[in-house]
Structures are given as structure tokens and as C-alpha cells.
Structure 1
């Protein structure tokens, strides 16, 4: 892990290096950059993959107590991260977390040359579906996040629809998920950061305004959605592709929300084909 000091705190990241086009891959809540381990394995030949761990609960370094960790605040952290590393013309790839809409609406997308949106929060689906609603309810109660994630030490609890059961069709390896949750198990400050994020969702009207702002993103964009997604409605993928002036949609079979876990080779092939200029595999 490498790290960079930003205004909100220290952000850790992995960087495969090299002279190839830069691909920045972003994860969602209560996980870290290892979500992309298989996709990076497929892409590192020919591309420089940069994978930050965002302050969404799977991070190991707490943010400053006064850091803005709302959805928009985390989007600004992403923009500052790109600035700090002086990355230009990047392909920004995201899964689960819907921050692309906030980045564009806030005018923080100048370093993004291409955009890849895989199954994620969109429109007013924040926090998303049953898992998101469960997380929001836990965050509203003192000690709720500690209790909720303590239950996830029990492997069977991880496959419930209200936790992670609808996030992947196949269980995430236990050791990977343990690493995602360990900061939340051990650190009050990390739980504070996650709670700030979960409770920092703006009103529905603002979320819908962000989505509409995607009409101004005039660069190539690929939307990759899980055809069987139970948390992020497939219709949202179609709508996002329709909003993006150069948007293209592909749907991936035999996958739930976390396509990087369920279908990493298929996803990597779509990304590689998109980056090499034929719009998608």
C-alpha cells in the first residue's frame, strides 16, 4: 500500500505502475480496493491500475473528525486524490458507490477522460435496496453499526438479503470479507466515518439533480450492469446509459451487484474492449 495525505486525511492506495493508460477503480461501502483484485489481474498488462481505499468503512486510517464524508464529500475526496497524484485523462471505474453523479454535478470531473459505471447507487437509490436500508437503520442508533457488523463475524449472517446475500451470487471468500470488516470491528473512529457517510445522503431532489447532470458528461462512458441485480435495479443502468451523451450499456449475466466478484473476467474484458476503442466486448 502507498498513501497520500489529503485534506480529509490519509488515503491508502495500490498502484500497479507502468506507462499505460491510467484506470482508477473505486469500491463501495464496507469494502476496500481488494474488490478489484481479479479485474486488476486481468488489466495490469497494458494499463496502470490505481486503486484507492475510500473512507467508506473498509479503510484502515480514520479521517479527520471534521472531514466531510457525505456522498458529495467523498466525491470531492476522489477528485482531490486525482489531483494529488496528478493523474490526467483517467478512466474512472466504479462499483456499488454512486459517486460519479456527484463528481460530474459538482464540476470535479476534469481529470476524467472516460467513465465506466458498474452496478451502483443511482437516482434516489441511496442507500441502496435492503442492505442499504438495513445499514441506514443501524447508523441512526447509537452503537448500531458496532452491533450490525459484529453479527457479520458469523459466516451465515453474511448471506442474508439484508446484509451481503444479494450483493454477490457466490460468497466472497471469508478472508477477503474479514479484511473488509476488520476496521469496523476494531475502530470506533472508522465506525464514526462510516456513520457520517451513511447519514450524509442528501434529499431525493438533489440526488435526481446529480443524475441529470450526467447529460453534461460529453466523453465516452460505459455502463455495465448485472442483469440479475436485486439491489441496484437493472432499469437504472438503462436510464444512466440514456442520460450519458456517449453512453453505452452492456448487461452481465449470472451476477448480482458486485460484478468484480461474480464475473471479474467478463467485466475486465468489457473494460479492456472499451478502452481499446470498440465500445465494449
Structure 2
């Protein structure tokens, strides 16, 4: 797997290569870029898909001592990754973990041409729901994270209410989850990185201030949200659609938070259409192309809220 040296340490990533539009696909806590395997396969090579393994517990190489692994720090590390790989006109796609939105609040999204938020943390929903709060509690208890991760080796625990059964509606990909959990389960340094992140969530006021500052991002934004999500409220999808000047919302049925697992074909189609409908402006162009005044559609064909600049 390719690696890149960043200020916090060595980051592994995958890159399909190719001349298509660049999609940078991000993952959540105790996961890695394999979250997106089925979606990338659906694209059939039409995009250059880059997937960094962020230091959120699913990474295999410990970060440097003293690295900034706070929520803000890992968001800025995402921007550093884009810069180090010299990626431009990126479509940045988030699922579950929402921290990279802070790049917008910090005015460091110059390499981002489009933003896609798919059922992810937003506003003050950090950590999200009961599963997120369990990680926060475990991080505060001596040996808590180690115990939590060991219990997640048991499939019955994964399927328990308020556990991973709230993130995936369909059958659990246990082999994939074994891979996700192994680094933090087996390596105390990786577990320490996860703990540093889990203890870093700032105050509700700070989170909401960051969200408010994101409205200055005027490029195209797609919010693709699972209508049955148990930890990322659908109300947040509508608030995000109203926040950004050029946003559209698509609601996805029959899925929980991990849409790339539950509905990879639908999500791949939605992403492909979004990129096709929002060409990047060329030098001298006045603005991104305007689209006809029509309601965005849900995946059932019913109109969904849309906010236009």
C-alpha cells in the first residue's frame, strides 16, 4: 500500500489512478478506506479514487508522539494529505466521520471543488449517538478501549442494539470488520492514537461555531443521507442543505449510517450524477453552471428539499 509522510506520521492510502475526476473518500472511527470498496468497484474506473487511512483507530502505523490527533488536527491533516499528493479539484466525500468539514470552517478547502456529506457527524453531534458516546466513555476509563475492542471480536456484541447494528442495516461484513478492529485491538500505540482523538472533542459552542462558518463554502455540496439513520439525524441533513449556498439533498432509503456498505450501487450512481451535473468552472468562467429550477429527488423519486444560492 502506498504511504505518504505527513506532519503527524506515515499515512497509508490507496489510489486507483487514472485521468477521471478525483474523489477522496474518507472513513470513520476504527475503519479504513475499505469501507468504500464496493462503491469504487461500481465506478468501473470512471474516477480516480483516493482513500487515505486516517489515524482514527483503523490505521496500522502509529502516529508520532505529540502529533495533533484532535478533531481539528485530523481535519487539518486531511488537508495536508491533499496538498502532499498535489490533488486539485477534489470531490471530498465523507461518511460517518464528519471532522473534515472543519477544513471549510478554517478556510483551508482551496483544493476542494465539491463536497459530499453522506450520513456523517455534523453540528454538535460529536461523538454521534450511543455508539459514539460509548467510545468516549471507554477512552476515559483505564483499559476501557482495550476491553471494548476485545468484546467487538464477538459477533453477538457487534449485532447488539446500540452497537454496530445501528450503523449497518444489512448483513454485517464480519471479515471486513475484523480487519478494521485489528490494529487498535492488537497494538497499544494505535489504541493510544484512538484514545487521543476520542478525548479531544471540543465544546458544543465550538462545534456549532465551526458549523456556522462553513456557510462561506460556495462550491457545490451534496448531502446524501440515510432516512433510517439511527445516529446521524435526518434533521441534520436538512439543516446542512440550508446552510450551504449551493447544496442539494438526496435521501436514501433502506440504509443506516454506512451507506457505502448498505447501498453501494445507489450511492455510486448518486455520486456519479452529482459530479456530472456540477462541472468545475474553467478560468474566465463566471461561476459554476446554473441548473434548471427543479426539486432534487429522493431515491424513490419523491422531491427532497433543495437550497440554491
- TM-score, reference length from structure 2: 0.89
Asked whether the equivalents of residues 78 and 100 of structure 2 are also in contact (C-alpha less than 8 Å), the reply is no
Aligned residue in 1 for 2:229: 229
**1:197-236 equivalence runs, <5 A:** 197-236=197-236
Matches of 1:150 and 1:193 in 2, distance apart? 17
> By how many angstroms is 1:163 displaced?
2.0
CA contact (8 A) 2:101 2:214 kept: yes
The Cα offsets for residues 103-126 of structure 1, whole Å up to 9 and x where unpaired, read as 111121010000000001111110
CA RMSD of aligned residues (A): 1.2
Cα deviation, residue 161, structure 1: 2.8
For 1:194 and 1:44, the matched residues in 2 are separated by: 34
Asked if residue 63 in structure 1 is aligned to residue 63 in structure 2, the reply is: yes
2:95 is matched with which residue?
A: 95
CA distance in 2: counterparts of 1:149 and 1:57, whole angstroms: 10
Contact 1:134 1:162 in 2 (8 A): no
Equivalent in the alignment of 1:114 = 114
The alignment partner of 2:166 has SS state of coil
Number of aligned positions between the proteins = 281
CA offsets per residue over residues 161-186 of structure 1, 9 Å max, x none?
33211000023311100000000111
Distance 1:46 1:114 in 2: 17
Counterpart in the other structure of 1:265: 265
Q: Secondary structure of 1:268's partner?
A: helix
SS of equivalent to 2:232 = coil
The structure 1 segments of at least 4 consecutive aligned residues displaced by more than 3 Å after TM superposition are: 278-281
Instruction: Write the distance in 2 (CA, Å) between the matches of 1:130 and 1:171.
Output: 21
Structure 2 gaps, min length 5 = 279-290, 298-309
Does structure 2 retain, via aligned residues, the 8 Å contact 1:159–1:171? no
Mapping for residues 121-136 of structure 1, pairs under 5 Å: 121-136=121-136
Which segment is superposed worse, 27-36 or 159-168? 159-168
2:180 aligned partner: 180
The residue number in structure 2 matching 1:137 is 137
- Aligned-pair distance for 1:44? 4.3
What is the TM-score normalised by the length of structure 1? Answer: 0.98
Secondary structure of the equivalent of 2:164? Answer: coil
Query: Is the CA contact 2:217–2:245 (under 8 Å) kept in the aligned structure 1?
Result: yes
3-state SS in 2 of match to 1:165: helix
Work out whether residues 58 and 181 of structure 2, in 8 Å CA contact, stay in contact via their aligned partners in 1. Answer: yes
| Aligned equivalents of 1:87, 1:258: Cα separation in 2 | 26
**Aligned equivalents of 1:155 and 1:103: distance in 2?**
36
Secondary structure at the aligned position of 2:113 is classed as strand
User: What does residue 18 of structure 1 align with?
Assistant: 18
- What is residue 193 of structure 1 aligned with on the other side? 193
| TM superposition shift of 1:206 | 0.7
CA distance in structure 1 between the aligned counterparts of 2:66 and 2:148, rounded to whole angstroms = 25
Cα distance in 1 for partners of 2:85, 2:43 equals 20
Q: In 1, are the aligned partners of 2:90 and 2:114 still within 8 Å (CA)?
A: yes
Aligned to 1:157: 157
- Residues 76-119 of structure 1, C-alpha deviation per residue, up to 9 Å, x if partnerless? 11000000000001000010011232111112101000000000
